[in-house]
Structure 1
């Protein structure tokens, strides 16, 4: 497939910068494309858009490794909360040595996912919703300790136990890139048009596929496909940015050097996939290649079941069911992780086989 119109658009942006899109040589064509598909976006809307630069969230994990990730409306706080909960279990490779130990480890992970997604229902754009105390809690060791005490090793619970407010569903049209340069500078960036092919609308002049990011908001009295009510913290307000599962993360050693660069695509599976790979690399003794390759588990509290990837060990699924978990299979490719691990003087870069990508270097 070739996209000559989009190539021209990219070339103009590369030469003129983002200004070309919002208030420059491309703006007129973009507005005409939007008008053709019935959009109400105006020149003023484009002119008023500003990409905000904010301080990242930081958490310190065992061994002094610092993780930095984006604040709301990104899901860095949710990722931080999951890893803070799991950090207190002091996992080692022995925790995956047998079916019994693996079952307990994955049960604890699933429970951490469920508590984290319950708290996610109260998150929204921090410029419009007061989430200061919640974010402080989600990045706090003490709060993670208190939640860990609620995790019971011999059973799971119904969704009310985890204390959600409401819930919203997300779809996938996302890509991620992890980058490390020869100076050791690390970048983890996730971009999205939300759903697969966004709004299913392509500009005839620019070749741009327009997003459907408005679907990331919640709306009063409108439930998702599972019949779950929306989240008030994520209701639409002019100028507000919708809640997202994106959580690009950089893990930093005590000396300031990059340890791990991670991120994912995959809608509501983004956060759990990133946490899954991080836990397996940091604590459970897997190489980054193996951690990305192995079949994954996912739980987002509602719907009330584990989603397990095709190929996940059946005996472990049966053992998790005995703890009260419902489980349903999903095919690979619904979440895609890209990562870089810096270890023993070597750089290991892995692109998830699920999307057919490959790492590159120079």
Structure 2
């Protein structure tokens, strides 16, 4: 079977923000600092890392919600970097974003039916009868009765609101979804329902996901491949089972060591990282992870490592392997 083609490609994407002045020089916040990722059609690519590492910014760049400072964004083989205005709005029909908190991302003044119909109205798709039919069909698809179209978001549970957030993102029949911590605000029992719904929708609609989360168990369940991010850069990427069983980067090893073992008798060595993640306003020269790495040596303080293939499908950015 031939490998799936890439539907989304980020090529050395950067997102920098101008900061204040310190010591007579203007500081620059490097939220994303040269990320290259390819997402295959029909797969789920998990993106993990600590808060503040730039995961959500990557998702917003990949879905045209933010303009890139530098780099290239390719969608289905077409360079869409820098699109704006009507052309960007037209392209966003193919790529949608599901936010962490649906209560704040959905307009509380609109009924559920109006929320789901709004994207169709904005894009002038169908008449009122056709739009209502599509709303009812979508509610059934996400496991809710069409009568929910008359409700407001405050009348729904957290899980139901997230279902509506997912449904709204699907109204324009996109191919690519960025799922930004879609279950982190939900109870554990509800999380499993939403995750299974996302898997079912992916299979039925042939969707491609960029799944952003800090929960490694959730990422393991959802993903085909996983990319690990630290201070605006990708430090490791591999097939999900390979990365969890054989992590290479010291940062990835620390993250994986924190996952509770399913076997209570199995003793897993916990790797505790020293210190805090540096500020993206003041990223260390050389390897950004050197201030917390027990393996850091002289080369790490002067030369930034490059993401390098170590074995088939497994890439790591670390001097230990070069």
TM-score relative to the length of structure 1: 0.24
**Normalising by structure 2, what TM-score?**
0.26
